[in-house]
Amino acid sequence: MIKSGMRASMAALGAAATLGATGLVASQPVSAADWSSTSIGWRYGTRFSEPFNTRDIKKNIFNLTHASGYTYGSNFFNVDALFSDGADPKNANSTEGAQEVYIVYRHTFDINKISGMDLKFGPVRGVGFTVGGDMNAKNDAGYNSAKRMLVAGPTLKFDVPGFLDMSLLQLWESNAPCNTFTNTCTPRYSYDAHPMLSFAWGIPIANTPLSFEGFANFIASKGRNEFGAQTASETNIDMQLMLDVGAVTGNKKGMFKVGLEYQYWRNKFGNNYQGPAGPGAFAKTPMIRAQYYF
């Protein structure tokens, strides 16, 4: 079984986030001047799922997110803290839920500014190169994930209101699971290097206080897992429709958002949902979400 937390929305050790579960997050566009955005958030759902687990799981997820830009690039950092109910127990003999921290970090170099060239073409306003990593720790009964992952690859920034980034990243991932049912711990195992096509966006909806935000990751098979089973390609889409509360109430805009979120995660962590991992490897999770910016 290949198992890790959030995309988080951190990656990203630093994001729990899900690096919510979460998944990839990308940097926002860099302006001529330095900029910075930091927020804390909460989301909740009752239909989370985990591979090899047939039960619906309730989770509370708290996140700290920071994005900033400078002359030659931008940073993204996210930490998710995920708290499951007893349907995802913290060990073999417990009725208490598992806990997880997932960290994501991404740094995108702005090739336009570094090179001094105008690299705009068609709908693309800029070109970057992204590096970073994910890291997690989870104390669940069957796996106790300790994921470590490095990423690197080119990024295209599209000319849209808000931002839309597309990255083609190479992933180098390892894990060292420990099963409390069998009291068996597996030495750290590295999967095959594999690519991921990733999109991240934050787009305002016309002249309304609404925005469409999220990410989509399409990840190739990572070869065989630490138990010798073939992994499957996975699709992880996390999208949110968020309402700017300040814009509606006449208070400061961009400070507090609430909304609805939906995660579609097929073959979660590379586990084939049509195989032994079962339906728990195919998550279809609605959530409510709140985010405060400071």
Ordered by where they begin, the domains of the chain are 35-293 (2.40.230.20)
Give the whole-angstrom CA distance, residue 130 versus residue 199: 13
Give the separation between CA 290 and CA 257, rounded to whole angstroms.
Answer: 6
Give me the average pLDDT of each 10-residue run along the chain (294 residues): 38 32 37 78 98 97 96 96 97 94 98 95 97 97 96 98 97 96 94 98 97 98 96 98 96 96 98 96 98 96
Residue 13's pLDDT is 32
Residue 44 has a pLDDT of 98
- Kindly report the pTM of this predicted structure: 0.88
Distance from chain centroid for Cα 24 = 4
What pLDDT shows up at residue 282?
A: 98
Torsion 289-279-269-198 (CA) sign: negative
pLDDT at 34: 87
- Predicted pLDDT of residue 187: 96
